[in-house]
Amino acid sequence: MTLVTQDIERSRFTAIVDGVLCVLDYQLQDNIMAIVHTGVPSQVGGRGIAAELTKFALDTARANGWKVRPLCSYAEVYMRRHPDYNDLLA
């Protein structure tokens, strides 16, 4: 399990794995969180970090009563594979 934190000022969720910064960037407007980018550098790729970032972001959206617009292709696929988040779709 990777420690994911929210950086509200930068509109992103972050995880540092083996000293490498991994991010999920979003834009929040009118209680809709648009996920615009998920970035996991190749040297730490393949460990499920993007999934953890996305799950954390979606759980945060749910806790705050936000809807989600998955503009990032990774987030879109994640939400398709996890239909329990369909109620969040904007």
Sequence-ordered list of residues with C-beta below 8 angstroms from that of 56, at least 6 positions apart, any chain: 4, 6, 13, 24
Residue 84: what pLDDT?
Answer: 97
Note the CATH number of domain 4-88: 3.40.630.30
pLDDT digits (tens, 9 = 90+) for 47-89: 999 999 999 999 999 999 999 999 999 999 999 999 999 999 9
Distance CA 22, CA 69 (A): 20
* 71 burial via Cβ count (<10 Å: 0-12, 13-18, 19+): middle
Residue 1: what pLDDT?
Answer: 66
Residues 2, 49 contacting (CB under 8 angstroms): yes
CA-based max dimension of the chain = 36
Average pLDDT over residues 15-41: 97
Mean pLDDT score across all residues of the chain: 97
